[in-house]
Amino acid sequence: MQIRPRAVNDETSERGGVSPLVLGRKPSWKEPDGVRRPARKHLALRCVRYRSVKTTSLLVVAFLITGLGTNTSCWAEPPRSLIEIKVGKEQFSGRIVAADDRDCWVFQRDGRMSRVRMDDVDDCSEVDPRFRPFPSLELRDQLKTEFGRDFEVKATSHYIVVARNESAERYAKLFEQVYRQFHSYFVPRGFRMEEPEFPLVAVVFPDQASFTKYCRAEGANPKPGVVGFYLPVSNRVALYDRTTSGRTRDDDTNDTVIHEATHQVAFNTGVHSRIGQSPQWVVEGLATLFESDGIRAKQSGGSSLDRINPERFEWFQTYRRQRRVPASLESFVRNDSAFQRAALDAYSEAWALTFYLAESRSAELAAYLRSIAARDPLKPYTAAERLQDFRAAFGADLTLIESGFLRFHDRLAK
């Protein structure tokens, strides 16, 4: 599960889960037609007057703002400098990853993501011309301080895992294994994967109570039955170990690790955008696809039957026979309402559709994922655009696509 909570102190935010901090000095406002707009030209001219380290960063801000329309975003690669931002008594540092004329999005050195608003910042300065994430060793020390003596911190090539003493090493190996299996499966099939910019952090709590407390502190409110999540804002996976209560098997906890780690790896290697909107069926489809032992196996040969996810497959067959509306693929692609109506049905169809595309049209699926990840992340992803992108990747005739999709699963069921 990927959780995107509302922004702190931002009840109207449509891009939840981000602290409402802002970059740049407070601009004046002009409202000739009743629409609030920052005085971009004034800000740019003010930045040019001075020659200092601070002014350099403000010039970066001016570059991002100047010339933008009211609802236009700047989606070029911003300069990768380390910026220090002050908003009232708060201060943090990071690099700009996207901006429009109202907001900036900043990655902090630990991988946390913040939304900053252009009209609230008191000061902004360039600290270093090069942004550097925290080294793994330094981030490990921070996590030890954050979680205390009852937890152990273990690191691998890509992961830093926090868990109760004597279990951290086992979980660290499992998370790292998922990363390597993800890479081994997707790269040969045409998926372009970037190396993660930040160490990937996962926290395993010993019980549901401590897990829920942590979730709420991060601005998330997990529904009953949720045992783990990936939160793009903090860039962490969090889950709790159900085996400590003796009520479940190790395999159940491992399944949660695999699902949530798949989300985390996909969002940190360029398969998904951490800022932009991605269709929920795409995000959950990849995660449920990778739950299968056959998908993660070293040997990539064999038939599709060797790679199915048995639980999702059986659920989809029942859903299709008893509840699925005919010719509903278009609705499933256009919006995420199916996940609000009946989550398990939607998860099963997300797996079924993704598995069909991965097995029979992997090149088109890879191109489709690249097109979504390359979108301007600050623009809404409308239902019409979602449908247009799907048709551009797989064909205009959705009736034909749906027919092939269902026939594929008919053959698997025989």
- Report the C-alpha gap between 155 and 142 in whole angstroms: 13
Question: What would be the CATH architecture of the domain defined by 136-268?
Answer: 3-Layer(aba) Sandwich (3.40)
Cα–Cα dist 373/260, whole Å = 19
Measure the CA–CA gap between 229 and 264, rounded to whole angstroms: 9
SS3 per-residue string spanning 6-75: CECCECCCCCCCCCECCCCCCCCEECCCCCCEECHHHHHHHHHCCCCHHHHHHHHHHHHHCCCCCCCEEC
Q: What does the chain come to in residues?
A: 414
- Give the domain ranges of the chain: 29-128, 136-268, 280-413
**Closest alpha carbon to 298 in 210, 201, 188, 216:** 188
Q: Which residue has the tokens 């990937």?
A: 200
* DSSP-derived 3-state class of residue 151: strand
Q: What is the pLDDT of residues 31-55, one digit of tens each?
A: 334 443 333 333 332 222 223 333 3
Q: How confident is the model at residue 24 (pLDDT cuts 50, 70, 90)?
A: very low
Confidence band for 254, pLDDT divided at 50, 70 and 90 = confident
Q: Which two tokens stand for residue 141?
A: 């020390």
* Alpha-carbon gap, residue 257 to 175, rounded angstroms: 7
- Chain segment 355-400, per-residue pLDDT in tens: 999 999 999 999 999 999 999 988 999 999 999 999 999 999 999 9
Could you report the per-residue pLDDT of 202-216, keeping only the tens digit for each? 999 999 999 999 999
Q: What confidence tier does 60 reach under pLDDT thresholds 50, 70, 90?
A: very low
Residue 300, pLDDT > 70, answer no
CA gap 161, 153 in Å, rounded: 6
Residue 80's pLDDT is what?
A: 82
What local confidence, expressed as pLDDT, does residue 78 receive?
Answer: 61
Mean pLDDT confidence for 82-102: 85
What DSSP element (H or E) covers 180? helix 168-186
- Which pLDDT score is estimated for 1? 66
CATH number for domain 29-128, candidates 3.60.20.10, 3.55.50.30, 2.30.30.520, 3.40.50.720: 2.30.30.520
Burial letters 281-317, b for 16+ CB under 10 A, else e:
bbbbbbbbbbbbebbbeeeeeeebeebbbebbbebbb
Residue 365, CA distances (Å) to 181, 189, 291, 391, 393 in order: 19, 9, 18, 12, 7
**pLDDT tens-digit profile of 107-128?**
999 999 988 887 888 888 888 9
Q: What percent of the chain has pLDDT over 70?
A: 78
Pairing of β 103-108 and β 37-38: unpaired
The strands making up 200-205's β-sheet, listed across from edge to edge, are 151-155, 159-164, 200-205, 236-240, 228-231
pLDDT at residue 125, rounded to an integer: 86
Q: Give me the mean pLDDT over the 260-268 stretch.
A: 96
Contact 316, 413 (CB under 8 A): no
CA–CA dist 412, 414 (Å, integer): 6
Of the chain, the percentage scoring pLDDT greater than 90 comes to: 60
Rg (C-alpha) for the chain, rounded Å, is: 23
In the predicted model, is pLDDT for residue 271 greater than 70?
yes
Instruction: For residue 255, give the 3-state DSSP assignment.
Output: helix
